[in-house]
Structure 1
Amino acid sequence: MEEKEEKIYPYRGIGILALCALLVFAGIYRFGETALQTSSTVGNRELPIYSVDTQKKQVALSFDAAWGNEDTQRILDILASHNLHVTFFMTGGWVESYPEDVKKIQAAGHDLGNHSENHKNMSQLSAKECEEEIMKVHDRVKELTGVSMQLFRPPYGDYDNKLIKTSYSCGYFPIQWSVDSLDWKDYGVDSIISTVLQNKDLTNGSIILMHNGAKYTADALESVITGLETQGYEIVPISQLIYKENFHMDGTGKQIRD
């Protein structure tokens, strides 16, 4: 996906050293009530978190919830049978349609993640519209569960500099993925399993994308879990995998601790 670049103009009164520092070091973003020193900037690009640089043999499973709930309970049951916690990224429409499922996900100890209100291509929106897309579902989930979500996944994986900055300003870590199960293509159970377990990008710190509403996901999940565990991976929620402060990104979107 081609990213939009933001031009940086010199300002009068700022010395050369100060300007270089502004370009090299991170901005300060608000996260809840605490200011965090972070850097999502690589060159002139703002990047979401695709994966995490870690020596721990951990990966994160994530499920986008934007349509359907037929298999949600089955997925929750499979996760519970393995005593696993994952991350569910939910749209506002899904939250509105299935509020009891949202409560079940939260009660089971999984991350509640924000997937925007209306699942739009957010690079095409203004900063104000992006903020509204994020905060509408944020407020709905807060009212429903008492949880202030902290993880945001852009619909379609579509983002630009503006959206990443807006995410942080709203108190969110923007999250992508490094391993796509392709379950949304409905290629079948075996395809999902092999796509995840034999993926060239599967490594420590990988974030795996699945969808709770995809046709074959629930059927494949047990084998995906056991396959990951057989390879020695511990499956954790994204909130446990990522660094919350003092980090920077490399050009691939890997989060690295400072």
Structure 2
Amino acid sequence: MFVTVIVNRRRFIYLLLLGLVLALLIFTPLLKLPQRLHEVIAQSRRLVPIYYVDTPEKKVAFSFDASWGAERTKRILDILDQFSIKTTFFLTGFWVEEYPDYVKLIAERGHEIGNHTYSHPHLGNLTEELIKEELLKVEQMIEQLTGQRPTLFRAPFGEYNNQIITVSEQLGYKTIQWSIDSLDWQNLTRDEIVQRVNHRAHKGAIILFHNNGLYTADALPEIINYYQRHGYQVVPISKLIYHQDFTIDPHSGAQIPDRKPGQR
């Protein structure tokens, strides 16, 4: 009988320990589940740039990407001066190297300068470090020429992913897309450009042009007249977007304020 009691006690202790081990195996992962869910959600959250601004104000921003040629840039700047309009120019590094006088002229005319990378690559093919190099190299060039550090970034080809946006944010940039594309780089006619841009007018729009589009300068006066006639104010992108307390809709790219309209 004494032997039986010892065996039963040992068996009980063995089963108890086995149960504790099984419980740890089952419940330990569950204790970490909230943290893991948070990590999965964070990793799967789709980041998007600012396509347009959700605003009650009739404001829009014109933007010009500069990555090739400059012979039409002076005329565009003169037209913008004629209408007393300030805009945003996104410059590539090799364009800055080739046309430093135009970079200075753009800044002297009171226009905002944004970062469009150094070599206009497909950033999705680059590592985080190479993306940083692309942005920092042109940033330094622009600052040396104008005394101003750019704070807005537009990805080449409009291509982006979470890594691209995260890296640009780490470097102090807001990533900017567009809601109206003039398609001037496709050498559309003047009338085709005017129709595309004017028929898509909306509050908070960010409009994409190119500094050396074949008919961009021809189309600009009629586009500006249309927007001004319909009560729109054309401003640089930094004067249109919210700089704090906002969210970006992952589906539309709308920048939505977290506070009352009119406060930026």
- 2:182 matched residue in structure 1: 181
Q: For 1:12 and 1:104, locate their aligned partners in 2 and report how far apart those are by CA, in whole Å.
A: 61
Query: What amino acid sits opposite 1:110 in the alignment?
Result: H
Superposed counterparts of 1:15-54, under 5 Å: 16=34, 20=38, 23=41, 44-54=45-55
Give me the identity figure in percent: 45
- 2:202 matched residue in structure 1: 203
Q: For 2:156 and 2:40, locate their aligned partners in 1 and report how far apart those are by CA, in whole Å.
A: 30
- Please say if 1:137 is aligned against 2:138: yes
Q: For 2:214 and 2:194, locate their aligned partners in 1 and report how far apart those are by CA, in whole Å.
A: 14
Q: For 2:137 and 2:127, locate their aligned partners in 1 and report how far apart those are by CA, in whole Å.
A: 15
- 2:215 matched residue in structure 1: 216
- 1:256 matched residue in structure 2: 256
Superposed counterparts of 1:241-252, under 5 Å: 241-250=240-249, 251-252=251-252
Partner SS for 1:176: coil
Partner SS for 2:114: strand
Q: For 1:140 and 1:252, locate their aligned partners in 2 and report how far apart those are by CA, in whole Å.
A: 33
Q: For 2:46 and 2:97, locate their aligned partners in 1 and report how far apart those are by CA, in whole Å.
A: 34
Partner SS for 1:45: coil
Q: For 1:112 and 1:14, locate their aligned partners in 2 and report how far apart those are by CA, in whole Å.
A: 46
Query: What amino acid sits opposite 1:117 in the alignment?
Result: Y
Gaps (5+ residues) in structure 1?
1-10, 25-40
Q: For 1:172 and 1:129, locate their aligned partners in 2 and report how far apart those are by CA, in whole Å.
A: 16
Q: For 2:138 and 2:127, locate their aligned partners in 1 and report how far apart those are by CA, in whole Å.
A: 18
Partner SS for 1:215: coil
Superposed counterparts of 1:51-70, under 5 Å: 51-70=52-71
Quick one: structure 1 residues 137 and 14, their matched pair in 2 at CA, closer, same or farther if it must change by over 3 Å? farther
Quick one: structure 1 residues 102 and 247, their matched pair in 2 at CA, closer, same or farther if it must change by over 3 Å? same
TM-score normalised by length of structure 2: 0.82
| Offset, 1:16 | 2.6
Decide which structure has greater strand share: 1
| Offset, 1:152 | 0.4
| Offset, 1:168 | 0.3
- 2:17 matched residue in structure 1: none
The structure with the largest alpha-carbon Rg is 2
- Please say if 1:150 is aligned against 2:148: no
| Offset, 1:180 | 0.2
| Offset, 1:220 | 0.8
Gaps (5+ residues) in structure 2?
1-28, 259-264
- 2:25 matched residue in structure 1: none
| Offset, 1:148 | 0.5
1:201-231 per-residue CA deviation (whole Å, 9 max, x = no partner) reads x311000000011111011111111111122
| Offset, 1:18 | 9.8
Instruction: Name the Cα RMSD after superposition.
Output: 2.0
TM-score normalised by length of structure 1: 0.84
1:63-109 per-residue CA deviation (whole Å, 9 max, x = no partner) reads 00111111111111110111110000000011001101111111111
Q: For 1:229 and 1:159, locate their aligned partners in 2 and report how far apart those are by CA, in whole Å.
A: 32
Q: For 1:140 and 1:134, locate their aligned partners in 2 and report how far apart those are by CA, in whole Å.
A: 10
| Offset, 1:236 | 0.5
Q: For 2:66 and 2:194, locate their aligned partners in 1 and report how far apart those are by CA, in whole Å.
A: 20
Quick one: structure 1 residues 78 and 127, their matched pair in 2 at CA, closer, same or farther if it must change by over 3 Å? same
Aligned length: 229
1:4-58 per-residue CA deviation (whole Å, 9 max, x = no partner) reads xxxxxxx99867389659958xxxxxxxxxxxxxxxx9x6201100000001000
Q: For 1:249 and 1:19, locate their aligned partners in 2 and report how far apart those are by CA, in whole Å.
A: 22
Which is further off, 225-234 or 92-101?
225-234
Q: For 1:171 and 1:67, locate their aligned partners in 2 and report how far apart those are by CA, in whole Å.
A: 26
